[in-house]
Structure 1
Amino acid sequence: MPNWEKLVDSRERLFWTLHTAGWVGFAIIYYIGSFLHDMRSIWLLIIMLNAYAGWLLTIPLRYIYRKALTLSPLKMIAMVGICLYITALVWALVKNLNYWEIYKKGYRPEEWYMYFTNTINSLIMVTCWTGGYFGIKNYQMLLKEKQNVLRASTMAHQAQIRMLRYQLNPHFLFNTLNAISTLILMKENKTADAMVSRLSDFLRYSLDKDPIRKVPLIQEVKVLELYLEIEKVRFEDRLSVVWDIDEKTKDALVPSLILQPLIENSIKYAISKASEGGQICISAKGFGRDLMLNVSDNGPGAEITDGNLPPSEGGGVGLQNIQERLQALYLDNYAFAISHNYPSGVKVNIRIPYELSEKSDGSLDEN
């Protein structure tokens, strides 16, 4: 938040700053105006006393006006008008006393009511103070309302991202548990134990990570390797993975587990459907100010219509989830494209802004 917005947001500090600055400005202008007349040096004291009296007398108006804001419009106008006039009248009296008793050295007019003259000038000044007070008050209310709207929008935005991030595909979990059960029945306890450990690490990472925050690509690669190791237990030699990660992109920030649904789609609709299995290629490259992410397979391919896959071939919640997360995180500064991978298979390209992390050790426990 800029410094001036912090000042406006702090009501107490803002009031005393503007209140004092306004009366100091009044004194300076009043003093400059005295150059037009041949005034004695004691006139400076009169100016200071008048400005101080104005500063002092308008302080109660703040609390009166605060109370007036809770009243109906007619009552508020009546209260403000009466208090404004009384304050201006008292200030005019003080100014006249200063003028006659100090500047004129005790000279008094014959009629006592003369001390209450020249109220119009005081009324104009106090009216300006009142206008400034209500103007700043309304601005503060608008600023507060704007902050509340932005806060509500941010909370809804974050809730949306969290909701999208936590829509885990149950098929992976069920298939993995079935594989573990099979390993136990086959008395391959060591392999089953290793698979349980990997599944635990993967699920802990999935649920513990704040989906609002982005993670370094190297960290994303490590958790994807963990996920693929679990899948390799199921598919053994039928699953082949090729990594093509540019060294310069390892510290680039990406949404956590943004590629996992794409890899899961490739396994479900490409690798599992081919008796001999297949290959998944995962690449990341920098291109200008963008980061290009790519997941492709050499499976039987799919029918792509208008850049979308049919639900029966992987175009379901997972891909929609990815696009909605990208939209929520990057607005329109991203690209998501599905195309044929030649000679066979499906390829998904993602373009996001190239953002570097300040530090990354690749730890799955990093917060």
Structure 2
Amino acid sequence: MILGKKHYWLLQLFGWGCFFLWHIFGAWSVDRLNIPEERLIIIQRAAGFALLGLVMTHFLRIAILKMGVFNKKISVQIALILLLMLLTSFLTGIIELIVYKRLGLIIKAEKMIFNKSLLLMILNNALAWVIFFTPWSAIYFVYHYIIAAQKEQIDTLKLKSHIKELELKTIKTHINPHFIFNALNGIRAMVDENPQRARTAITELSNILRSSINIDKSETVPLTDELNIIKDYLALEQMRFEDRLVIEYEIDEKTTGQPVPPMMLQMLVENAIKHGISEEVNGGVVKLISEMDDHILVLTVENTGKLKEQQQGGGFGIKSILERLKLMYGDNADFEILQSSPNKVTARLKLPLIL
């Protein structure tokens, strides 16, 4: 919950209300309230003191904000707040003296000082206000930074949410149009010679498109759901590559229920097909591996081929993966892509394991 104007006024009223009660209690504890001629004056003075303190500290706050004190260096902030606090104390001392004199709220002890020196009376009042305004200024200084910290935290969360929303929308629109074109062409070719396979292919394509539409409904999906989409994707690609594409799975059953970011692994598989298998005359192998390593879920995609520059961070897919991992896991996740052997590229995701 962020502190705002409502909380500021509640704190102001509570603080100066406590001061009023403390003032009355102090007068009562030294029998000042038992002096009939001073009893009403003391109560009125306590109320006036609290009201004047409330009004003047609010004007002090306005001055601090109008001058943009909190936009300056910390040393300048402290110096300006001290200067404004002293000026406010002096001004409040003068206002207090004028009001009390006009309303006849000056008690006997003060009349003696007032008759001797008006300046001494003003300085005496100003010093009293300095004693009260100093802790108020310190509290407000801390109060401001609490608000600023909370606002910054909320703004950061909103920004992350906005970035994530844009990222997911971008991913949704990034389904490779060439893949859809090739899949539809493959389905059309099968309609007559293998109607059953054509119907299955339409279902597989439908599953992939549905998955892309629903990607922003949850941050993660079970690994088994992600693998089902990948199997549909690879089945459609196999229509195009036929014997040139060999698919292998090495899936640890203990990992299938683990949550993973939707379509992240699928993007790595698409990357393996696009930059690996399609570039090889004789095709090659795409292998998916999932395993647990201590408290880390390790997802690996291996493919036949050579690592290209756009696969090392320059392409949309890799950039998207890195940004999403940073947003979702901070420094607790890792991604690497490397030429693991002369003719094999390995992409590896490491995600925190949910026990």
Q: Does the TM-score normalized on the shorter chain lie above 0.5? A: yes
Q: Counterpart of 1:139 in structure 2: which amino acid?
A: Y
Q: Secondary structure at the match of 2:105?
A: helix
Match of 2:105 in 1: 97
Q: Distance in 2 between matches of 1:63 and 1:123?
A: 14
CA positional deviation for 1:96: 8.2
Per-residue CA shift, 1:34-69, capped at 9, x if unaligned?
98xxx3374798877654433233333466456656
- Give the partner amino acid of 1:60: V
Provide the alpha-carbon RMSD of the alignment.
4.8
Any idea what the Cα deviations from partners look like across 1:120-167, whole Å, max 9, x if unmatched?
A: 344335643763576367536744763475256425642563366343
Would you say the 8 A contact 1:291–1:354 is kept in 2? Answer: yes
In the other structure, the counterpart of 2:335 is 335
Distance 1:172 1:87 in 2: 80
Match of 2:349 in 1: 350
The match for 1:40 is 31
The answer (yes or no) to whether the contact 1:88–1:126 under 8 Å persists in 2 is no
SS at match of 2:198: helix
1-structure distance, mates of 2:310, 2:10: 67
> Cα distance, 1:88 vs. partner?
3.4
Report deviation, 1:293: 0.7
Q: In 2 relative to 1, CA 150–181 (structure 1 residues): closer, same or farther, beyond 3 Å?
A: same
> Which structure dedicates a bigger proportion of its chain to helix?
2
Q: Which of 47, 52, 59 is residue 57 of structure 1 equivalent to?
A: 52
Higher relative contact order (CA 8 A, sep 6+): 1
User: Partner of 1:206: helix, strand, or coil?
Assistant: helix
Contact 1:89 1:123 in 2 (8 A): no
SS at match of 2:216: coil
TM-score under structure 2 length normalisation: 0.68
**Pair 1:272–1:336, CA change in 2 (3 A):** closer
The change in CA–CA distance for 1:71 and 1:227 in structure 2 (over 3 A counts) is closer
Closer/same/farther in 2, CA of residues 222 and 60 from structure 1, 3 Å limit: same
Partner of 1:179: 186
Write the mapping of 1:256-275 to structure 2, written as runs, cut at 5 A.
256-268=262-274, 269-270=276-277, 273=280, 275=282
Alpha-carbon offset, residue 292 of structure 1: 0.7
Q: Which amino acid aligns with 1:286?
A: M
Same amino acid, percent of matched pairs? 24
Aligned equivalents of 1:161, 1:262: Cα separation in 2: 16
Shift of 1:209: 0.9
3-state SS in 2 of match to 1:210: helix
More moved, 170-179 vs 314-323: 314-323
Change (3 A) 1:40 1:293: same
Compared CA separation, residues 190 and 86, structure 1 to 2 (3 A):
farther
* Contact 2:57–2:133 (Cα < 8 Å) also in 1: no
- In structure 2, the residue matched to 1:360 is none
Q: 1:313 to 1:22 in 2, by over 3 A?
A: closer
Q: Aligned to 1:259, what secondary structure does the other structure show?
A: helix
Residues 98/204 of structure 1: CA separation in 2 closer, same or farther (3 Å cut): farther
Cα distance, 1:247 vs structure 2: 2.9
For structure 1, the residue ranges without an aligned partner over 5 or more in a row are 303-308, 357-367
- Partner in structure 2 of residue 199 of structure 1: 205
- Per the TM alignment, residue 349 of structure 1 is displaced from its structure 2 partner at its CA by 2.1
Task: Determine if the alignment matches structure 1 residue 246 to structure 2 residue 252.
Answer: yes
- Name whichever of 212-221 and 63-72 sits farther off: 63-72
Give, as a single letter, the amino acid of the residue that structure 1 aligns with 2:352.
Answer: P
Q: Secondary structure at the residue paired with 1:97?
A: coil
Q: Residue in 2 aligned with 1:24?
A: 18
Within-5 A mapping of 1:3-152: 6=2, 9-21=3-15, 24=18, 28=22, 39-40=30-31, 42=33, 51-61=46-56, 64-65=59-60, 68=63, 84-85=92-93, 87-89=95-97, 97=105, 117=121, 118-125=124-131, 127-128=133-134, 131=137, 135=141, 138-139=144-145, 142-143=148-149, 146-147=152-153, 150=156
Deviation (angstroms), 1:229: 2.9
CA-CA distance at 1:270 after TM superposition: 2.9
What amino acid is aligned across from residue 326 of structure 1 in structure 2?
L
* Matched position secondary structure for 1:21: helix
- Counterpart secondary structure, 2:269: helix
Paired residues of 1:238 and 1:271 also in contact (CA < 8 A) = no
Q: Greater shift after overlay, 172-181 or 60-69?
A: 60-69
Determine if contact 1:286/1:292 at 8 Å carries over to the other structure: yes
- Between Structure 1 and Structure 2, how many residues are aligned? 328
Assess if the C-alpha contact under 8 Å between 1:271 and 1:279 holds in 2: no
Shift of 1:262: 2.5
